[in-house]
Structure 1
Amino acid sequence: MLPAGGLTRGLVGLALGAGLCYCAYRILAGKGRGKKKELVTGGSLLERVSNMTVVQSVQSGGAVQMENIPTSASNLEPHHLKALLEMLESNVNDSSVLKQALVTLCNSAAFSAKHDIIRNFNGIKIIGRFLLHPCPIIKTKALNALNNLSMNLKNQEQIKDFLCDVCNEIKSSSLNSEVQLAGLRLAINMSVTNNYHEYLVDYIPCFFTLLVDGEEATKMHTLKVLVNLSANLSMTTALLSSKAPASLSNLFGSKTNRDILIRAMTFAANLSENLDRQQHSNGQCHYEENSLYALLFRGQTVFQRNLVALLQHPDKDIKEHVARFVCPQKLN
């Protein structure tokens, strides 16, 4: 069996030699670029803290009496944050109160100076337990708060304990729902480093399903997670051996949204380069017929036919990403 890169390059070379020349030129111009990873910052700081709902004089079953909370998230002092977290920990049943408290903590967590304070008050664990709350709105607000807190590496060490809960919410929540999107945003940030990739392995088939069934926002978020995973050489076998629906090939069609297509090609190119390195060092692995490997690399696949067509795409950036896939040796 031919290596994946060689098989694809042979097919494309027969079809469009001229296209390869153009692509090789573009690749040489960009030589030395590393694999890009995705990060979600949640927009500008102003967007994250404007129009926030503020908790005012909240009582929680008589157990905790809240003082007035400042109207600006930047003005929240440590004792304000502690009071909010104590209120959340006191088993409040009022969903509107929980929502207000989580939104206020989320907006406060937009400021990096608050990250350590919230963590030191056991805030990550307190917020994390709301991932199991029955109300989707509460789950979403908790995920948003953890997402802002995940910009801190020390916070990620605690957030990792909730990654399985996050992925279960991504898998089980309604397709394209706010809960699902919030969970994917957190998964993006938690996959920027290689530290927690193993927590996501069991959910790779779910991510592939979202690429087929999801709306554009869901596809984009999912691809950002997968691009981060594919940048890690040690994740190559797990990704390529995962079950992938045959219709996933359609993602690489010329009619796909440009930004989605570029990320899909980045994902495929990362895997192709990793596979070449892996085969040179470890030999070839065995992959099942319904695996991502079979869909991308085995025989003359729909994906490879789409790849040939993309060499004629009018967008030069897409051509460059296709060239990176079919000519990985140019990047070494």
Structure 2
Amino acid sequence: MGEPRGAAVRAAAIVLGAGACYCLWRLAAGGRRGQRAAAGAARGPPSDNSPPVSTHIMDADALQKLIHLLQATDDPLIQEQVLITLGNSAAFSVNQDIIRNLDGLSIIGGMLSDCIPKVKEKALNALNNLSMNIKNQEEIQVYIMQVCRNVESAPLNSELQLAGLRLLTNMSVTSDYHHKMVNSIPCFLHLLAEGTERTQIQVLKVLVNLSANPAMARHLLRAQVPSLLLLFDNCVNRDILLRALAFAANLKKTMNDEDGTMIQDQYSEGSIFFTFCRDSTQFAQKLASLLHHPDTEVKEQVVRILIQ
């Protein structure tokens, strides 16, 4: 980029930055009710029920200028700030539609190939909020395999890795795009074994979604996770334990529903299939111990597995 153009882009960024800050101030000034709506929209699963719409939203003209700036600049600091603003604005359903109609999804998605980790992270965060919209998911799904590659290549437990896992969690709530994640199952299970508690929780959210789909069961049951039983222990973080139990319950249900059509010869001894199969003494002992867990929900999940 030449110096005159670079200076023009920086000047535009300053103006737009001031405008974005004002818009964000207006968002914050909407009161606690608006803040709760935004937080709920950012965390909740995608559905046809759109997040609450605030009267304090960026108009199409402001969003278009931000998207154009994202295209025009190669300054990573400006890119980060624009992506943060677009991501924050995507907490509101009206803005989700506007950004899609302005071709913002493909422009933000294009940032996933950037070599700057912080830029990729902010792009993933923006797409995560934008994926709360079913129509947006139809466009975002083309980036799933690239997101999986970003998760695999990112430093272990990094913010970039977590941002990718959060987006995959949203994109795996329905089974429509599960097939795009099949090749990443070994990566997910590696992160489950090696990651921090924060990473384990986020990986388990993806795995629970995948395991609820019977079409994914064979892919998961073939996988090797020698340390998986370590998650089924009274001393394990409750959020991890509950999700590990949900994962096991989903796979056990599929195994039982197959009515004997799953042939043991298809699976090696270290596979998840052998970990959860009905003859697994170690798993049975783990479940028996968890029946004495002080948390009612944990005990309910254990019973759910035992009665299948």
> If the TM-score is normalised by the length of the shorter chain, which range does it land in?
0.7 to 0.9
Q: 2:59 corresponds to which residue?
A: 77
- Partner of 1:180, secondary structure, is helix
Deviation at 1:220, TM superposition (A): 0.6
Q: 2:108 corresponds to which residue?
A: 127
Q: 1:253 corresponds to which residue?
A: 233
Match of 1:212 among 164, 178, 193: 193
Q: 1:266 corresponds to which residue?
A: 246
Deviation at 1:231, TM superposition (A): 1.3
Deviation at 1:298, TM superposition (A): 6.8
Q: 2:49 corresponds to which residue?
A: none
Q: Which deviations, in whole Å up to 9, do the C-alpha atoms of 1:15-72 show, x marking residues without a partner? A: xxxxxxxxxxxxxxxxxxxxxxxxxxxxxxxxxxxxxxxxxxxx75646973542412
Q: Partners of 1:62 and 1:224 in 2: how far apart?
A: 44
Q: 1:198 corresponds to which residue?
A: 179
Deviation at 1:266, TM superposition (A): 0.7
Q: 1:143 corresponds to which residue?
A: 124
Change in 2 beyond 3 A, CA 1:306/1:134: same
Contact 1:212 / 1:251 at 8 angstroms: preserved in 2? Answer: no
Q: 2:168 corresponds to which residue?
A: 187
Match of 1:279 among 245, 251, 259: 259
What is the RMSD of the two structures over their aligned residues, measured on CA atoms? 1.9
Q: 1:288 corresponds to which residue?
A: 268
Deviation at 1:134, TM superposition (A): 1.4
| Structure 2 unpaired stretches of 5+ | 25-55
Q: Partners of 1:254 and 1:150 in 2: how far apart?
A: 35
Match of 1:309 among 272, 289, 292: 289
| Structure 1 unpaired stretches of 5+ | 1-58
Contact 1:240 / 1:293 at 8 angstroms: preserved in 2? Answer: yes
Aligned AA for 1:80? A
Q: Partners of 1:272 and 1:177 in 2: how far apart?
A: 32
Deviation at 1:278, TM superposition (A): 1.6
List aligned pairs for 1:31-42, cutoff 5 A.
none
Aligned AA for 2:211? S
Deviation at 1:312, TM superposition (A): 2.3
Change in 2 beyond 3 A, CA 1:273/1:298: closer
Contact 2:87 / 2:129 at 8 angstroms: preserved in 1? Answer: yes
- Partner of 2:175, secondary structure, is coil
Deviation at 1:165, TM superposition (A): 1.0
Contact 1:164 / 1:199 at 8 angstroms: preserved in 2? Answer: yes
**Greater relative contact order (Cα 8 A, min sep 6): structure 1 or 2?**
1
Change in 2 beyond 3 A, CA 1:75/1:60: farther
Q: 1:93 corresponds to which residue?
A: 74
- Work out the number of aligned pairs and report it: 267
Q: Partners of 1:65 and 1:303 in 2: how far apart?
A: 62
- Tell whether 2:295 aligns with 1:321: no
Q: Partners of 2:78 and 2:207 in 1: how far apart?
A: 36
- Tell whether 2:277 aligns with 1:297: yes
- Tell whether 2:202 aligns with 1:221: yes
Q: 2:39 corresponds to which residue?
A: none
Q: Partners of 2:57 and 2:218 in 1: how far apart?
A: 48
Q: Which deviations, in whole Å up to 9, do the C-alpha atoms of 1:105-150 show, x marking residues without a partner? A: 0111111101111111111110011111111111111000000000
Q: Which deviations, in whole Å up to 9, do the C-alpha atoms of 1:208-253 show, x marking residues without a partner? A: 11111111111111111111111112211111122x2211210112
Aligned AA for 1:199? K
Q: Which deviations, in whole Å up to 9, do the C-alpha atoms of 1:71-129 show, x marking residues without a partner? A: 12444211111111111112x22111111111110111111101111111111110011
Q: Partners of 1:270 and 1:138 in 2: how far apart?
A: 36
